[in-house]
Chain A
Amino acid sequence: MSQEHVIGQRDVDRVSTTPVLEVRDLVKHFTARRRLLVPTPAPLRAVQGVSFQVQRGQALGIVGESGCGKSTLAKMIMGLHEPTSGTVLLEGRDVSEIPRTEFARRVQFVFQDPYSSLNPRKTVRQALDAPLRHLAGLDAPARRARTAELLDLVGLRAEFADRYPHEFSGGQRQRVGIARALASTADVLLLDEPVSALDVSVQAQVLNLLRELQQELGLTYVFIAHDLAVVENLCDEVGVMYLGRVVEQAPAEVLFGSPRHPYTHTLLSAIPTGDRSQRRLRLAAPAGANGPAGTDEGCAFAPRCYRVEDRCQTDLPPLSAEPAGHPVACHFADDTDPEEHAR
């Protein structure tokens, strides 16, 4: 069990193969703008040393609070943000050495915000045309056929092809974004909240589609989402982030079945179920009470944690699978049962 701390490693046979995607100790600091008469604040540490591996055909889910650095992490993998330090490897090769077009043929991104990610002056057909031509290398008739096929795959009517983004509803735009990612030949998709704008019937369609593509084409996903039921439905492995760090990682069924980090417990109990009498673990303080900048002193979750003890204020808990189980960054990982500890 303690061996199983490599994300994406579901079956032991795969241990020896190079992961499709690996990130090593990624860090991103945003320097605050200088303002007149105000001392320049410390840089904002959005991502503070994240490492993981994803094997071919696996889906890694990333969950965590708003602002914990999920999108920043994804943008660094995509090369949209320069990492402050750390490396991203695609099949063992440092991505900073891979030419742009080659990278784009392999890795595509679906953005969190379908409003700003589509060019308002391009119809859907034009938006799909570029990747179909330059990345998939299709000729005009083939592009026409593929466009129709892609729209059908994501559940949009064929005649939508000649419409502009502003003519679509939120969920329809998000599906255009997914179609565009699928238009390339990419086998690694980074999906940043791809289904949260969709209604549940379309969401079900898209999740089934992603699962099907994963099985048939062996696609690899990094799937960022805040809906835990959705993550469980699609992902093999899940990493939970808190303020720029991974605080727990495990196979989906283990993470949701026997969580160890108090933050994961808190997340699970916050899911609205409709049962108004349901007891929720209330956080001791609101989101980000500990400040966005983050420190190395103590556990970042301490100000909000129900399990906190003195030691948490001073010692940074490392991500460790010891003494038993999957990796968790908590000093009391084996003794976090909210029934026993939460007020």
Chain B
Amino acid sequence: MSDVRIEPPDTTSLLEVRGLRTEFVVEDEVYRAVDGVDLTIGPGESVGLVGESGSGKTVTAMSILQLIPDPPGRIVGGSIEIDGVDLVRAPERVLRQVRGGRIACVFQDPLTSLNPVLPVGDQLTEMMRAHQDLDRRAARRRARELLDAVHIPHAERRLEEYPHELSGGMRQRVMIAMALANDPELLIADEPTTALDVTVQAEILDLLRELRERTGMSLLFITHDFGVVAELCDRVVVMYAGRVVEQAPVDKVFADAAHPYTRRLVDCMPRLGEGRRDLEVIPGLPPALNRLPDGCAFAERCDVVEEACRRGTIALEGYGEDRMVRCIRPGARP
């Protein structure tokens, strides 16, 4: 580890997101992409963020890093605290230190996150030198080590290559190497293994687990793959239409999901050994984000909906000793 770090006090959380609301305004229409998200991540904790495509997972991650393009986007409410500093209100100078330093990220689209006209080696060294006092040669050596660490073969040769010369999976590993360059306390990874085959994915999961054990790094892992969540995460947060609808320890979500959406989602997964067959689906579409309904956003598609579901805002409430659910009929079956 290149720098001395003060251990965070262990009782508190590392990151605390409260009531986050992020909107996009497109042609006078307001789209509430993130509509009151609460999310806490403890030091060393690994949280999986799952949910419908378009439910606001990436926007939540981008909001945490204050990377929402404005216009059309804007954070209109809530706070995002890391060690007592509210990132929503922090000056750009502080944010620049936090991004890629204490909080690092790997995003969904490696091609747009990497600079197409710069060899990957230069991008890695630039990234490190922005945050650490390293000379060129030391940065270069470390860049090589990082490519080795994410299992990119022939690291020396790859350092000279441009992003388009790498396969999809290799680009993603370069992104992970960049994220790890400054020993972050929190790594936000937005579908980092989506483009990878299972053996490389297994290697990356091992790598992340190893890094967590060695450095105590926390992880916010956005994915569609429940198998990955189950292997890597302690806790799962499920989003639907811009809101958190369930949070629970990993094993409980799979064994018996409390929210009807989570239960249906788990049922949609194909499992090896079942052959060709029609998969379960959740008929219907999520609500339009510029016309969110009053009651439960899932009501239109829910198989245990009642009249009361559509009546007023439904709060995220405790369920059992260690779960939270946004549903008035948690655990109900049709």
Contact with A along B99-132 (1 / 0, CB 8 A): 0000000001101100000000000000000000
Bound CA–CA A289/B153 (angstroms): 6
CB atoms of B151 and A253 under 8 A apart? no
Q: Which residue of B lies closest to A195 (CB)?
A: B224
**Choice from B26, B53, B202, B282 contacting A280 with Cβ under 8 Å:** B202
By the criterion CB–CB under 8 Å, are B108 and A208 in contact?
no
Chain B, Cβ-Cβ closest to A232: B272
Beta-carbon nearest neighbor of A193 in chain B: B195
Q: Does A138 contact B (CB under 8 A)?
A: no
Docked pose: A283 CA to B157 CA in angstroms: 23
Let me know if B11 is at the binding interface, CB within 8 A: no
A112 touches B275 (CB 8 A): no
User: In chain A between 216 and 248, which residues have their CB closer than 8 angstroms to a CB of chain B?
Assistant: 226-230, 232-236
Closest to A32 in B: B157
Given the interface contacts A169-B53, A201-B268, does A66 sit within 8 Å of B197 by beta carbon?
yes
Q: Is the CB of A167 within 8 A of B24?
A: yes
A126 shortest CB reach to chain B, Å: 16
Closest to A41 in B: B157
Let me know if B225 is at the binding interface, CB within 8 A: yes
A280–B209 alpha-carbon span in the complex (Å): 15
Are A208 and B281 interface neighbours, CB within 8 A? yes
Cβ of B193 to closest chain A Cβ, rounded Å: 9
Q: Does A87 contact B (CB under 8 A)?
A: no
A226 near B196 with CB under 8 A, answer: yes
Q: Which residues of A contact B278 (CB under 8 A)?
A: 208, 211
In Å, the complex CA distance between A335 and B83 comes to 57
Total A-B Cβ pairs within 8 A: 191
In the complex, what residues of A have CB within 8 A of residue B157's CB? 41
> Is the C-beta of B228 less than 8 angstroms from some C-beta in chain A?
yes
In the complex, A177→B207 CA distance in Å? 33
Cβ of A252 under 8 Å from chain B: yes
B264 within 8 A of A: yes
How far is it, in angstroms, between the C-alpha of A205 and the C-alpha of B224 when the chains are bound? 14
Judged by a CB distance under 8 angstroms, whether A203 is at the interface is yes
B-side contacts of A198, CB under 8 Å: 53, 224
Contact of B281 among A112, A167, A204, A256 (CB under 8 A): A204
In the complex, per-residue mask of A280-292: 1 if CB is within 8 Å of any chain B CB, else 0: 1001001111011
* Any A CB within 8 A of the CB of B19: no
Asked if A272 CB lies within 8 Å of chain B CBs, one says yes
Please give, as numbers and ranges, the residues of chain B lying within 8 Å of A230 by CB-CB distance.
270
Interface membership of B226, Cβ < 8 A: yes
Name the CB-closest residue of B to A241.
B197
Which secondary structure dominates where chain B touches chain A?
Answer: loop
Stretch at the interface among A14-22, A263-271, A305-313: A263-271
Give which listed residue, A155, A274, A289, contacts B230 with CB less than 8 A.
A274
- Asked whether B246 is an interface residue with its Cβ less than 8 Å from the other chain, the reply is no
* CB-nearest residue of chain B to A235: B276
Cβ contact within 8 Å between A169 and B54: yes
CA of A76 to CA of B254 in the docked complex: distance in angstroms?
A: 42
Q: How far is the CA of A201 from the CA of B52 in the complex (A)?
A: 7
In Å, the complex CA distance between A268 and B202 comes to 11
Stretch at the interface among B74-82, B138-146, B162-170, B317-325: B162-170
Please tell me if the beta carbons of A171 and B271 are within 8 angstroms of each other in the complex.
no
What's the nearest-Cβ distance from chain A to residue B310, in Å? 20
User: Contacts A201-B52, A233-B274, A252-B275 given: A287-B268 contact, CB under 8 Å?
Assistant: no
Judging by beta carbons under 8 Å apart, are A271 and B198 in contact? yes
Within 8 A of B (CB), among A317-331: none
Residue B203 lies at the interface, judged by CB distance under 8 Å to chain A: yes
Contact B275 A171, beta carbon cutoff 8 Å: no
Which listed residue, A66, A169, A204, touches B170 by the CB 8 Å rule? A66
Q: Are B228 and A272 in contact (CB under 8 A)?
A: yes
B228 touches A71 (CB 8 A): no
Query: Which residue from chain B places its CB closest to the CB of A35 in the assembled complex?
Result: B160
Chain A contacts for B210, CB-based, 8 A: none
**Does residue B269 face the partner (Cβ distance < 8 Å to A)?**
yes
Closest to A230 in B: B270
- Please name all residues of chain A whose beta carbon is closer than 8 Å to the beta carbon of B285 when the two chains form the complex: 155-157
Residues in A neighbouring B165, C-beta threshold 8 A: 30
Contact A272 B201 (CB under 8 A): yes
Is B43 interfacial (CB-CB < 8 Å)?
Answer: no
> For B314, what are the chain A residues with a Cβ–Cβ distance below 8 Å?
none
A289 to B195, CA, bound (A): 20
Q: Write out the residue numbers on chain A whose beta carbons fall within 8 Å of the beta carbon of B167.
A: 66-67, 71
Contact in complex: A203, B268 (CB < 8 Å): yes
Contacts of A78 in B (CB 8 A): none
- Interchain residue pairs A-B with the least CB separation, the first 5: A66-B169, A274-B230, A171-B53, A272-B227, A288-B153
Additional 6 contacts, C-beta under 8 A, given A172-B54, A270-B198: A116-B111, A170-B109, A172-B53, A271-B198, A272-B227, A272-B231
